[in-house]
């Protein structure tokens, strides 16, 4: 078993254990719109109790993909938006967040882009989550990773349940 596989497996166990012990107030998204957890993303955010260091930062980038230019994190992992969020606070909590880990803000927010389509810093923001911490937003859309993306550049979550879509650097959802 590789080190990456071990880290992913350990993260998955922690996510499942956390989801099982959390109180569900009924405000999370319908579980029918969330696929089963495949594996935990290495980019799962720290808990709300972890304080980012003064030098930490969160980067949103743009990258070429088969779907066009899309938003990614600094490691090249695809970022998604959830239609039920409707450019408001995150509605993907508990079991949903286990499959779709929120892209959490740590320190200063920054953007960068490729030569063809620069990412717009004016569209970058944060929203407080009901389960703690601040989630990165782009054009108002809370951003997520997908646990089914195994490598940077994967877009396995695109179009799932007709509610999960990649985001363009212009801040629009790519739905085709």
Q: Residue ranges of the domains in the chain?
A: 57-176
pLDDT attached to residue 143: 98
Interior angle at CA 153, CA 52 and CA 77, nearest 5:
10
Contact 155, 149 (CB under 8 A): yes
Residue 121 pLDDT level (bands cut at 50, 70, 90): confident
In this structure, are strands 108-111 and 57-65 parallel, antiparallel, or unpaired?
parallel
Helix (H, G, I), strand (E, B) or coil at 21: helix
As a whole number of angstroms, the distance between CA 6 and CA 130 comes to 30
Q: pLDDT tens across 18-59, in order?
A: 433 334 343 444 434 444 333 333 344 444 434 444 457 899
Q: pLDDT tens across 87-104, in order?
A: 999 999 999 999 999 999
Joined tokens for residue 30: 């319908």
Contact 114, 63 (CB under 8 A): yes
Q: Which of the pair, 140 or 42, is modelled with greater confidence?
A: 140
As a whole number of angstroms, the distance between CA 158 and CA 168 comes to 12
pLDDT attached to residue 31: 39
Task: Find the mean pLDDT for residues 58-74.
Answer: 93
Residue 4 pLDDT greater than 90, yes or no: no
Whose tokens are 């286990």? That residue is 98
In this structure, are strands 141-142 and 173-174 parallel, antiparallel, or unpaired?
unpaired
As a whole number of angstroms, the distance between CA 133 and CA 126 comes to 10
As a whole number, the mean pLDDT across the chain is 76
Rounded to two decimals, the pTM is: 0.68
- In sequence order, the β-bridge partners of residue 141 are 138
């Amino acid at each position: 078993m590789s080190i990456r596989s071990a880290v992913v497996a350990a993260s998955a166990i922690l996510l499942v254990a956390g989801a099982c012990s959390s109180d569900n107030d009924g405000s999370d998204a319908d579980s029918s719109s969330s696929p089963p957890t495949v594996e935990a993303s290495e980019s799962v955010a720290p808990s709300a109790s972890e304080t980012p260091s003064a030098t930490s930062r969160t980067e949103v980038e743009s990258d070429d993909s088969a779907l066009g230019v899309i938003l990614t994190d600094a490691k090249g992992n695809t970022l998604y938006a959830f239609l039920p969020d409707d450019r408001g606070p995150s509605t993907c909590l508990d079991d949903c967040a286990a499959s779709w880990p929120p892209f959490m803000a740590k320190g200063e927010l920054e953007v960068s882009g490729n030569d063809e389509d620069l990412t717009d810093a004016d569209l970058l923001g944060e929203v407080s989550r009901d389960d703690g911490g601040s989630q990165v937003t782009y054009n108002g859309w809370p951003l997520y990773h997908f646990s089914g993306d195994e490598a940077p550049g994967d877009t396995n979550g695109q179009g799932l349940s007709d509610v999960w879509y990649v985001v363009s650097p212009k801040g629009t959802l790519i739905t085709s």
